[in-house]
Amino acid sequence: MLSTLHGPFPLSPAEKLKKSAVPRQYKLTFQENTSMKKMLLVITVVLVGSLAASAAPVVFNFSFDGFCDNMTTHRYTPGTGFPKKFLAGIHHIGSAPNCGAIDSFVGGFQHGNPAAVAPNVTPVNDYSDPIEGLYGVPYSLQYLVHEPNALHPACVWANYFSNGNANYLFINGTCTPFAGAAPQKGTGLSSTVKR
C-alpha cells in the first residue's frame, strides 16, 4: 500500500488545476509587479491629462492692420470626438476716437478655402458678424481670417458682404495677433464694417 503513494501529501483536485499565468522562466517578483502597476498608473495619468489639454480652446485675438477694430475669439470643440472647428468671440467695432466702442458677437466654423478665394490661403476661420442686421442695414458680413501657422505664417483676412443676391468681396488685408482678452486699439480711423 505504501508503494501507491506518490508523496507524503497527495494533491487535491483544486491544487492540481492551479497553474501560474506567468511561465516559470518569466516568474515576476513582487517588485516587478509593483513597477508595472506604477507604470500603468503613470500612463493613465498622462493620457487623461492630454485629453484635458486637448479640450482647452485655442485663443486667437487679432487686430485688422490699418483699421480701428479687432476681434477676440477662440476655437473650441463642443465635446469629445469633435475637432476644434467651432468659433466664438467678439468683434470690437468703432471709429476713431471710439475704437472698440461697439461689440458684436461673432461665431462660425474653421474650414478649408480655395486658393482662388481671398484671403487665398487655407484653413480660414469663417466668422459671421450680425452687426449690419442689428442696425437695420440689409447686409450680412462674413470674415474669413487665417490663423498664422508653420505653412503660412502671415495673418490675413477678407471681408465679404451679401445683399441677398450674391456675396461680394468688400475689403481684405493683413492682421496682427495679440495676446490677452482686452481689446487692443487699432491704428486706423475707421472699422472694417461696410457702411
Residue 119's contacts (CB-CB under 8 Å, 6 or more residues apart) are 113, 144, 145, 146, 156, 157, 158, 172
Tell me: the pLDDT tens digits for 85-96?
999 999 988 766
* Residue-wise pLDDT tens digits, 59-100: 999 999 988 888 999 999 988 888 999 999 999 887 666 676
Q: And the C-alpha cell for 143?
A: 470674415
Count CA atoms within 13 Å of residue 88 on its CB side. Answer: 6
19-58 pLDDT, tens per residue? Answer: 655 556 656 565 555 666 666 666 665 555 555 445 789 9
**Residue 100 C-alpha from the chain's centroid:** 26
For the chain, give every domain's residue range.
Answer: 22-54, 58-178
Choose the CATH number for 58-178 among 1.10.10, 1.10.760, 1.10.3470, 2.40.128: 2.40.128
**pTM for this predicted structure:** 0.68
